[in-house]
């Protein structure tokens, strides 16, 4: 089997050969109607199962499982330049998708999953989406479906297996294991799961808040092997409407550009002036803790709330936990251009406070809700100006962030086409990269941030 050809063929199939799009939408709606979900904000005593631990000043549960909330501060010249609550979740979870050839078509086994913070209840998720506390059954519930496929992966073909970062503005050095495996044996399909082609998933990605963040990050890890293309080049290229994207995917990665990007990232790691530290939540002077929330005393991008959660069909049906509630909508965006017949994307080396190793490659624009337009770079202002005028917008969709920790957080994801001459000389640490080069950097653990990976998942042929 030529895996690269089968991946593109599946990407090109928007109708599906197992379930139609109409059947998929009806399945989602049916599960939305049938599942009992009740999420409500409640008071937080700081002394119950989830409590404020006076030993280190973190908020954690009695089992010391899942995650904790600490205070985080960045220090420069002996002054606090930034501080906020941050999620500590040291364990690495599975984000995994099973693939299988079914009647001559590569299909992906996707899950209709409810997370407590989802804005619209059901979202399309990977085959398995489980923290270590989930799959080791710390909560006392059932083991997740399909765990055995990823725990015994040597029996199957590994397409992707990478550790990737999560939102570094919310998590402290958080990573998950992004996996795609190809299975030949029969796979049981539970009512919570359905086979889809890659093209069908790409169609679902065009709908606001329908495909979750975990699916998007796993899809961004799909490799396209240039060495497999020679015997099927003509048939593969014929499936691309965007020939410049075909040329961008099926080329050798630009290793000179990779070295430049690593140089910028490593410079940020080496020469950063600030130091960071974890501190008790109560020591955050610009934040206040009330019985309903932990909130900044001035405008900020989020606050911490506490919720009672009831979800039918989960491993555990009832629980309470803190959630991060966004206060506004961020904009994540990439410029794209075509140079010499090859599509490229404008990326940048970017530091973030909770990043596993200080800095990663990010998109052209990463604008949190409270960022002032007066304090951004000219290239970011150009992006927002074109977005306001709706000029040459290829992608513009509102998508949710991780619903297991974030409450109703949704952000605008945008790709805008531009002539590279209009951008002109690039600011420091910005680079025009083709798809193959970005994909190569994704294969290195913790080098491409989740905002850029999510945008990569939205690119369409």
Task: Quote the pLDDT of residue 138.
Answer: 60
User: Once rounded to an integer, what is the mean pLDDT over residues 98-108?
Assistant: 98
Q: 3-state secondary structure string, the chain?
A: CCHHHHHHHHHHCCCCCCCCHHHHHHHHHHHHHHCCEEEEECCCCCECCEEEECCCCEEEECCCCCCEEEEEEEEECCEEEEEEEEEECCCCEEEEEEEEEECCEEEEEEEEEECCCCCCCEEEECCEEECHHHHCCCCCCCCCCCHHHHHCHHHCEEEEEEEEECCCCCEECCEEEEEEEECCCCCCCCCCEEEECHHHHHHHCCCCCCECHHHHHHHCCCCCCHHHCHHHHHHHHHCCCCHHHHHHHCCCCCHHHHHHHHHHHHHHHHHCCCEEEEECHHHCCCEEECCCEEEECCCCCEEEEEEEEEECCCCCCEEEEEEEEECCCCEEEEEEEEECCEEEEEEEEEECCCCCCCEEEEECEEECCCCCHHHCCHHHHHHHHHHHCCCCEEEEEEEECCCCCEECCEEEEEEEECCHHHHCCCCCCEEEEEHHHHHHHHCCCCCECHHHHHHHHHCCC
Task: Evaluate whether 393 touches 414 at the Cβ level (below 8 Å).
Answer: yes
Task: Quote the pLDDT of residue 68.
Answer: 97
Average pLDDT, the chain: 94
pLDDT band at 390, cuts 50/70/90? very high
Q: Which of 30-39, 136-145, 212-221 has the highest mean pLDDT?
A: 212-221
pLDDT band at 374, cuts 50/70/90? low
User: Once rounded to an integer, what is the mean pLDDT over residues 35-55?
Assistant: 93
CA 410 – CA 144 distance, rounded (Å): 26
For residue 139, pLDDT over 60 is answered with: no
Question: Mean pLDDT lowest for which of 270-284, 290-304, 432-446?
Answer: 270-284
For residue 73, pLDDT over 80 is answered with: yes
User: Once rounded to an integer, what is the mean pLDDT over residues 390-398?
Assistant: 97
CA 270 – CA 325 distance, rounded (Å): 33
- Tell me the pLDDT tens digit for each residue of 186-213: 999 999 999 999 999 999 999 999 999 9
Task: Quote the pLDDT of residue 272.
Answer: 78
Domain 255-273+328-458 fold = Nucleoside Triphosphate Pyrophosphohydrolase (3.90.79)
Indicate left, alpha or beta for 205 from its phi (over 0: left) and psi (-120 to 50: alpha). Answer: alpha
Task: Evaluate whether 162 touches 221 at the Cβ level (below 8 Å).
Answer: yes
Task: Quote the pLDDT of residue 132.
Answer: 76
Task: Quote the pLDDT of residue 332.
Answer: 98
pLDDT band at 131, cuts 50/70/90? confident
Task: Quote the pLDDT of residue 317.
Answer: 77
Sign, CA dihedral 254-256-257-258, equals: positive
Domain ranges for the chain, please list them: 255-273+328-458
Q: What is the dihedral of CA 44, 49, 86, 356, to 10 degrees?
A: -170
- Tell me the pLDDT tens digit for each residue of 232-259: 999 999 999 999 999 999 999 999 999 9
Task: Quote the pLDDT of residue 314.
Answer: 67
- Pairing between β-strand 122-125 and β-strand 128-130 as defined by DSSP bridges: unpaired
User: Once rounded to an integer, what is the mean pLDDT over residues 361-367?
Assistant: 97
Task: Quote the pLDDT of residue 144.
Answer: 86
User: Once rounded to an integer, what is the mean pLDDT over residues 332-336?
Assistant: 98
For residue 373, pLDDT over 80 is answered with: no
- Tell me the pLDDT tens digit for each residue of 262-284: 999 999 988 877 789 999 999 99
User: Once rounded to an integer, what is the mean pLDDT over residues 35-42?
Assistant: 91
For residue 331, what are the contacts with CB-CB under 8 A and spacing of at least 6? 365, 367, 384, 387, 411, 412, 414
For residue 459, what are the contacts with CB-CB under 8 A and spacing of at least 6? 245, 395, 415, 435
Task: Quote the pLDDT of residue 200.
Answer: 98
Length of the chain equals 461
Task: Quote the pLDDT of residue 253.
Answer: 96
User: Once rounded to an integer, what is the mean pLDDT over residues 131-158?
Assistant: 81
Q: What percent of the chain has pLDDT above 70?
A: 97
Task: Quote the pLDDT of residue 135.
Answer: 67
For residue 84, pLDDT over 70 is answered with: yes
pLDDT band at 184, cuts 50/70/90? very high
Task: Quote the pLDDT of residue 78.
Answer: 86
For residue 170, pLDDT over 80 is answered with: yes
């Amino acid at each position: 089997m030529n895996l690269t050809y089968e991946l593109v063929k599946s990407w090109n199939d928007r109708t599906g050969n197992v379930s139609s799009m109409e059947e998929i939408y009806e399945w989602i709606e049916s599960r939305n109607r049938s599942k009992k979900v009740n999420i409500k904000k409640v008071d937080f005593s700081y002394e119950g199962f989830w409590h404020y631990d006076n030993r280190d000043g973190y908020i954690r549960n009695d089992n010391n499982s899942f995650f904790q909330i600490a205070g985080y501060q960045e220090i420069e010249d002996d002054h606090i330049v930034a501080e906020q609550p941050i999620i500590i979740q040291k364990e690495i979870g599975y984000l995994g998708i099973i693939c299988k050839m079914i009647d001559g078509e590569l299909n992906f086994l996707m899950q209709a999953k409810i997370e407590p913070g989802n804005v619209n209840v059901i979202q399309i998720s990977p085959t398995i989406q489980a923290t270590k506390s989930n799959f080791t059954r710390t909560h006392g519930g059932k083991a997740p479906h399909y765990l055995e496929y990823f725990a015994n992966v040597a029996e199957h073909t590994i397409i992707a297996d990478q550790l990737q970062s999560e939102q570094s503005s919310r998590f402290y050095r958080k990573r998950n294991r992004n996996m795609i495996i190809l299975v030949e044996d029969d796979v049981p399909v539970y009512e919570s799961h359905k086979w889809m082609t890659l093209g069908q998933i790409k169609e679902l990605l065009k709908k606001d808040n329908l495909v979750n963040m975990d699916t998007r990050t796993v899809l961004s890890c799909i490799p396209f092997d240039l060495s497999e293309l020679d015997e099927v080049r003509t048939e593969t290229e014929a499936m691309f409407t965007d020939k410049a994207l075909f040329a961008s995917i099926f080329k050798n990665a630009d290793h000179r550009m990779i070295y430049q990007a690593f140089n910028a990232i490593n410079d940020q790691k080496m020469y950063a002036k600030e130091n960071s530290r974890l501190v008790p939540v109560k020591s955050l002077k610009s934040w206040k803790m009330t019985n309903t929330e932990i909130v900044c005393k001035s405008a900020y991008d989020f606050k911490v709330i506490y919720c009672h959660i009831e979800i039918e069909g989960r491993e555990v049906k009832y629980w309470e936990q803190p959630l991060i509630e966004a206060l506004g909508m961020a904009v994540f965006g990439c410029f794209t251009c075509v140079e010499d017949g090859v599509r490229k994307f404008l990326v940048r080396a970017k530091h973030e406070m909770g990043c596993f190793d200080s800095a990663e490659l990010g998109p052209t624009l990463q604008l949190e809700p409270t960022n002032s337009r007066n304090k951004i770079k000219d290239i970011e202002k150009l992006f927002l100006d074109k977005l306001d005028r709706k000029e040459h917008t290829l992608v513009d969709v509102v998508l949710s962030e991780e619903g297991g920790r974030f409450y109703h957080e949704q952000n605008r994801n945008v790709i805008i086409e531009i002539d590279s001459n209009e951008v002109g000389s690039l600011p420091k640490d910005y680079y025009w990269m083709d798809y193959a080069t970005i994909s190569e950097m994704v294969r290195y653990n913790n080098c491409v941030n989740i905002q850029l990976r999510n945008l990569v998942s939205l690119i369409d042929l």
